[in-house]
Amino acid sequence: MLEEDIRLNVESALKEDLGGVLDPNRDISAQLIPADLESEAAVISRESGIFCGEKWVEETLRQLGGNVDVTWFTKDGEHVKAGQELFHLKGNARVIATAERTILNFVQMLSGVATAVHSYVKEMEGTSCNLFDTRKTIPGLRTALKYAVACGGGKNHRIGLFDMFFIKGRHVQAAGGIKNAILKAREIAPDKKIDIMVESLEELKEALEAKADVIMLDNFDYAQIEEAVAVNNHQAKLEISGNVNLETIGKFAKTGVDFISVGALTKHITALEVYMRFAKD
């Protein structure tokens, strides 16, 4: 899905700037620049973080005509420092000018997500727990944001509604109980993993008896999580969600759960500040 989504992401972003048509000649400001002028520009980070966005940069330039060469000084997932040149552009001045904001928007957003994820992962060092993202993403940018999570050291939960069961209270109620919900899920798609949300130790025990693959402990406090880990005794993978932030995730990771899912990774996005500096022509 990712390669096609990158194309669609970039096409949509460029059309926003170009009045709904993928035609660089609709950039009226760029028309002030001689059509055959060659130029160079450097994209530089104003702060330290984790870089992400290579393919979106290259796709932006490709869709605008491909008359610009990119020299990379970093790659996705690498740590960058404030003041570091991330990549260098050389080619048609009009194309670079038209591409500028689209390129920076993707890089700053995706790098911001990767940087935040890295901060969470760092707090979990020394444990066997993995950090999960969620479906709390910007519409249309699901795979892009999940790619950025992976670049930051996190793991992807389900991509959408098609690749994994995630059974909540409404599903349990409709199916007639936890056991019935899990049995029906096995019948519908026996090859798909089943993740079920529970709200008490009693529900946890029911899910274990029905042999769920992953059990999410929804809004359990610290003491309840420790008790749940003891009850589970490695029968299923345990996931926690709710009341988790950068200050608390390290403590929760040490309880022995397998996964911690954090919606803020792709919902509360703070961009990594980057800018483009043009060479004097």
Is the Cβ–Cβ distance between 104 and 274 less than 8 Å? Answer: yes
The sign of the CA dihedral 104, 106, 108, 111 is negative
Rounded Cα distance between 97 and 103, Å, is 10
Rounded Cα distance between 131 and 45, Å, is 26
Going by pLDDT thresholds of 50, 70 and 90, the confidence category of residue 243 is: confident
Residue 126 pLDDT exceeds 90: yes
Region for residue 176 given its phi and psi (left: phi exceeds 0; alpha: psi -120 to 50; beta: otherwise): left
Is the Cβ–Cβ distance between 165 and 194 less than 8 Å? Answer: yes
Tokens 């000649």 -> residue: 25
pLDDT of residue 188: 97
HSE, CB side, 13 Å, CA atoms: give it for residue 268. Answer: 8
The DSSP code sequence of 8-64 is: HHHHHHHHHHTTTS--GGG-TTGGGS-TT-EEEEEEEESS-EE---HHHHHHHHHHT
Q: Tell me, what DSSP letter sits at residue 155?
A: B
Question: What does the block give as tokens for 15?
Answer: 């059309």
Q: What percent of the chain has pLDDT over 70?
A: 100
pLDDT tens-digit series, residues 28-73: 999 999 999 999 999 999 999 999 999 999 999 999 998 999 999 9
pLDDT of residue 242: 83
pLDDT of residue 219: 85
The sign of the CA dihedral 51, 55, 56, 57 is positive
Rounded Cα distance between 121 and 173, Å, is 35
pLDDT tens-digit series, residues 154-195: 999 999 999 999 999 999 999 999 999 999 999 999 999 999
pLDDT tens-digit series, residues 14-25: 999 999 999 999
Tokens 């050389």 -> residue: 90
